[in-house]
Structure 1
Amino acid sequence: MTNTLVLDVDGTLVDTNYHHAVAWFRAFRRFDLTIPTWRLHRAIGMGGDKLVAAVAGEHVERAHGDELREAWEEEFAPMLAEVRPLEGAHRLIAAALEQDLTVVLASSGKRHHVDHYVKLIDASGITSTSSDDVEDSKPAPDLIEVALRRVDHSGRAVVVGDSVWDCGAAKRAGLPVVCLRTGGFGEAELREAGASAVYEELDQLRADLTDLPMA
């Protein structure tokens, strides 16, 4: 049996959460809506299909949801070249493969964004998901379930993320989750959301690969 490491991407392997928050802020400003960036940051990690209503209300989603998501993508596009991998991203994946773990990326990002990140972290050949693959994004479990179906998953699995939304998706999928603080969420809130361990950086997680909880 092969155990599986289900990796979130944004905020976990690449440093994008604050770029996304700024892009959303600018997108809302196009419609004369000012959402504090701290509130936007707190929502990063859930899918864009949920974010608008979460930070601005259902009435804004009904009136401008699709337009806001288009505006966010336009605002984020110039920042894509600025995105850098988080330290240790490639080392984590390489170590997991060396330990005969199956690695799959469970991202709710746009497909062209995910493809760009895969190149940044030198993870070609690693199976990944995107927002194109599901109708319901995190904290729904759909992305994790699709990711597991796409790999030879015959053993146990653990989810690695950076946000409370990753924790919620893992819980709904019936899997344990460990988290990084690289997305800007605090250790206490990640543990309260269900993370069994919280790491400051990816190399610390890599050192614990053989001891991660699997279910």
Structure 2
Amino acid sequence: MTNTLVLDVDGTLVDTNFHHAVAWFRAFRRFDITVPTWRLHRAIGMGGDKLVAAVAGEHVERERGDDLRAAWEAEFEPMLDEVRPLEGAHRLVSAALEQDFAVVLASSGKRGHVDRYVKLIDVPDVPSTSSDDVEASKPAPDLIEVALGRVGGDGRAVVVGDSVWDCEAAQRAGLPVVCLRTGGFGEAELREAGASTVYEELDRLRADLTDLPMA
């Protein structure tokens, strides 16, 4: 059976979490709503379909949800040129492929953004998901399930992420999860959310590829 590596993208392979938090802050301010950036950062990794209600309440989602998501996209777009891969991203994916892992990127980002990140990481042949592929984003397990389908995930698999939302999605999909601290979440909270191991950097994870938990 093939081992599958299901990789989150934002905050795990590319350094975008704080850009997203600022973009959401500015999007809310367009409608005279102030959500503290610390609260927004805590929600990054959750899909945009859930984030508005999570940080500002169901009434804001009902009244302004789609407008806020459009505003977020407009605010984030100018920041795309600043986005860089996290150190070791290309090396991790390349090593996993060399070791005969099936690798798939499970992102809830916009398709255009995901395609851009794939080019930045320089892994053009690795399949990926986007928000276009599911109705419910993380922490729902849908993206992980779609990602597994992209690589014919009939063997063992592990999820790699950076947020508590990745942990919850992995658990709901019935898969183990390991995490990076690169998204800004603390080790203790990631472990409490279900991560079996928490790494400071991608190269340390790469060194442990053959020892990752699989289910």
Q: What is the count of residue pairs matched by the alignment? A: 215
Matched with 2:180 is: 180
When normalised by structure 1's length, the TM-score is 1.00
The C-alpha deviation readout for 1:62-89, integer Å capped at 9, x for no partner, is 0000000000000000000100000000
Matches within 5 A, 1:47-196: 47-196=47-196
Runs of 4 or more, structure 1, over 6 Å off, are none
Matches within 5 A, 1:8-23: 8-23=8-23
Q: Contact 1:161–1:179 (CA<8 Å) still a contact in 2?
A: yes
The C-alpha deviation readout for 1:35-80, integer Å capped at 9, x for no partner, is 0000000000000000000000000000000000000000000000
Q: Contact 1:2–1:152 (CA<8 Å) still a contact in 2?
A: no
Counterpart of 1:184 in structure 2: which amino acid?
G
- Matches of 1:155 and 1:137, distance apart in 2: 24
- Matches of 2:151 and 2:36, distance apart in 1: 39
When normalised by structure 2's length, the TM-score is 1.00
Shift of 1:93: 0.2
Counterpart of 1:56 in structure 2: which amino acid?
A
- Matches of 2:114 and 2:181, distance apart in 1: 21
- Matches of 1:153 and 1:144, distance apart in 2: 10
- Segments of 5+ residues of structure 1 without an aligned counterpart are none
- Matches of 1:5 and 1:83, distance apart in 2: 23
Matched with 1:204 is: 204
The C-alpha deviation readout for 1:89-125, integer Å capped at 9, x for no partner, is 0000000001000000000000000000000000101
**Percent of counterpart pairs with the same letter?**
86
Shift of 1:154: 2.6
Q: State the secondary structure of the residue aligned to 2:5.
A: strand
- Matches of 2:153 and 2:137, distance apart in 1: 21
- Matches of 1:34 and 1:189, distance apart in 2: 26
- Matches of 1:203 and 1:8, distance apart in 2: 16
Shift of 1:150: 1.0
- Segments of 5+ residues of structure 2 without an aligned counterpart are none
Task: Report the aligned-residue RMSD.
Answer: 0.4
1:4 pairs with 2:25: no
- Matches of 1:152 and 1:67, distance apart in 2: 37
